[in-house]
Amino acid sequence: MARIKRGLMRHKRHKKIIDRASGYWGRKKNVFKRAHEQWMKAGQYAFRDRRAKKRDFRRLWIARITAGCREHGIKYGQFIGALNAQGIQVNRKMLSEMAIHDPAAFKALVVKAQAK
């Protein structure tokens, strides 16, 4: 039986990784071992940061709502607590957009939240 040579498949596998690693710095773009290591690490960073992005945006929205609340003389925690007590369900993303682009509507929400 003839011996199977695996050069073709190895070349295809290496080429796939090298193509995916194009744009990396230094040897990480053209040396298979370094490119494969960096490509695997990039996948870990992507996985981690897809989750971190959600946290970062929530922090941004809360900071914007806090700034809007301070303009109207109420603290963020009091505002959110009052909205929940009133049964008003608006997510933080929309609240932050209102605080920036529609201050009149945001003020109406603050007034409604303060009215007990």
Query: What are the tens digits of pLDDT across the range 50-84?
Result: 999 999 999 999 999 999 999 999 999 999 999 99
Query: Which pair of tokens denotes residue 83?
Result: 């909205």
Neighbours of 13 (CB within 10 A): 13
Res. 2: pLDDT tops 90: no
List the structure tokens of 12: 């295809």
Residue with tokens 């209102």: 98
Which three-class secondary structure state does DSSP give residue 7?
helix
Q: What local confidence, expressed as pLDDT, does residue 4 receive?
A: 80
Q: Domains in the chain, start-ordered, CATH in brackets?
A: 27-114 (1.10.1900.20)
In the predicted structure, residue 7 carries a pLDDT above the cut 90: no
Nearest by Cα to 15 from 26, 25, 2, 29? 29
Give the whole-angstrom CA distance, residue 42 versus residue 49. 10
Q: Give residue 8's pLDDT band: very low, low, confident or very high (50, 70, 90).
A: confident
**Structural tokens at position 58:** 């929530």
pLDDT of res. 116: 65
Please give the mean pLDDT across all residues of the chain.
93
Q: Which residues contact 60 (CB under 8 A, 6 or more apart)?
A: 96
